[in-house]
Amino acid sequence: MHTRAQRTIRLGAAAALACAGLFALSAQASELTLGTSLGYGCYEKVKFGYTDLDALQLCNRALSEAHLGRKDLAATYVNRGIIRAARGDLEGAIHDYDTALKMKPDMGEALANKGAAYLRANNFRQAISVLNKALDYTLTQPSHVYYNRAIAYESLGEHEKAYRDFQQAAKLQPDWSWPQRELQRYQFIAH
């Protein structure tokens, strides 16, 4: 039996499995082009990490009252989805991401956040599928997508793929300690 520090790439990772929901990261908020609209207020709430009921209600108002263009409307759905996911409403979050994707199918941030929601719901195969698609598009923080996909792979026992994704996340964002910390758990043992 190996301790966490001695874990090899071919052994399970129970600790990561237990924490997968805690480490699933949302991608950055989807930016709006409108100055001080309700939609922009929703974006700012997400950007600064507010996920309380007031933030959710502001996003709801933006979606029902603001006259947003297609791009900004899609971004507002993503931002509300981030708030919903943070509040534990993963089904509502996924619905918001899907709504945004219907308006703007090439929206990488919607896919990245949808993948994170599936990861938090412990639907690892679906998370990997969606995160793979997200990587086909321009993302503000692709390192987070690789990190989340690594957690999903590790949760499924695919440790070599997880290790490679943690490496990629660390390479893309070298000042981010989370992937570095995960990489330290791996140890290669010669056969």
Q: Where are the domains of the chain?
A: 1-27+124-191, 31-106
d(CA 38, CA 59): 7
pLDDT tens sequence across 69-124: 999 999 999 999 999 999 999 999 999 999 999 999 999 999 999 999 999 999 99
pTM of the model: 0.83
d(CA 54, CA 44): 12
Q: Indicate if the pLDDT at residue 180 is higher than 80.
A: yes
Q: Indicate if the pLDDT at residue 131 is higher than 50.
A: yes
| 94, β-bridge pairs | none
Instruction: Provide the percentage of residues in the chain whose pLDDT is more than 90.
Output: 77
Q: CB 189: neighbour CB atoms within 10 A?
A: 10
Using alpha carbons, list the distances in angstroms from residue 62 to 13, 71, 91, 150. Answer: 42, 13, 20, 34
d(CA 53, CA 58): 9
Q: Indicate if the pLDDT at residue 4 is higher than 70.
A: no
3-state class (DSSP) for residue 187? strand
**Which of the residue ranges 22-36, 50-64, 137-151, 162-176 would you say has the lowest mean pLDDT?**
22-36
Overall CATH class of domain 31-106: mainly alpha
Which position has the higher pLDDT, 8 or 142?
142
Which position has the higher pLDDT, 179 or 13?
179
Size of the chain in residues = 191
Provide the angle, in degrees to the nearest 10, between the axes of the packed helices 142-155 and 124-134.
150
Look at residue 31 in the predicted model and tell me its pLDDT.
Answer: 65
Look at residue 15 in the predicted model and tell me its pLDDT.
Answer: 25
Overall CATH class of domain 1-27+124-191: mainly alpha
Helices H / strands E in the chain, number of each: 10, 0
- Nearest alpha carbon to residue 21 among 123, 106, 96: 123
Q: Indicate if the pLDDT at residue 22 is higher than 90.
A: no
Asked if the domains at 1-27+124-191 and 31-106 fall in one CATH topology, the answer is: yes
Helices (H), 108-158: 108-120, 124-134, 142-155
HSE of 124, CA atoms in CB hemisphere, 13 A: 15
Asked if 75 contacts 63 with a C-beta cutoff of 8 angstroms, the reply is no
Q: CB 48: neighbour CB atoms within 10 A?
A: 9
Look at residue 189 in the predicted model and tell me its pLDDT.
Answer: 76
**Which residue type sits at 187?**
Q
- Nearest alpha carbon to residue 114 among 95, 141, 139, 89: 95
